[in-house]
Amino acid sequence: MISTELARELRLSGLVWRPTAGDAFRIERTELESDVFTVSDMTIEPHEFDTGTILGFNGTTEWALDSLALEDALWLPREDQLRELLGAGFHSLTRLDDESFEVHVVRGGSASFIASDPADAYAAAVLSALVPR
């Protein structure tokens, strides 16, 4: 799973989240920082309003939280979502001998991104496309 730090960097760089079933997210509140939630058609559903998207928590009797503004949630994109964001620029994912992972992209040149988790390597590649260095 993508690190919270990289997820925050992606959000700050302008990556827009349109919640769909199966998406993982954290609630940006200190008391909930270790919890990961999943958008689901039965329990947590996105509701679109003119003022923005709200995540509705259905049937959560043990919680005092009925809904959450999208800006208070931090999307934790999955590997497949990050790979899709790379589009045609994605070339390969390789497991290295030291148990880390390398994502190689070709987009106006060639670049590689290495991390201990494949999702973080993908996220670094997406981040580089959003914020050219």
Inform me whether the pLDDT recorded for 52 exceeds 70. Answer: yes
Tell me the chain's radius of gyration from C-alpha atoms: 16
Please count the other Cβ atoms lying within 10 Å of the Cβ belonging to residue 18: 10
Annotation: CATH topology of 79-130: Double Stranded RNA Binding Domain (3.30.160)
What are the strands of the beta sheet with 67-69, ordered from one edge? 44-49, 52-57, 67-69
- DSSP calls for 62-95: T-S--EEEGGGEEEE--HHHHHHHHGGGEEEEEE
Question: Does residue 40 register a pLDDT over 80?
Answer: no
pLDDT in tens, 108-119: 889 999 999 999
Average pLDDT over residues 103-128: 95
Mean pLDDT (whole number) for 81-88: 96
What ranges do the domains of the chain cover? 18-76, 79-130
Q: Give me the pLDDT at residue 37, please.
A: 87
61 pLDDT higher than 60: no
Give the per-residue pLDDT at 65. Answer: 59
Q: Mean pLDDT throughout 54-80?
A: 77
CA separation (Å) from 131 to 9, 14, 20, 29, 128?
Answer: 10, 9, 25, 27, 5
CA atoms within 13 A on the CB side of 132: 3
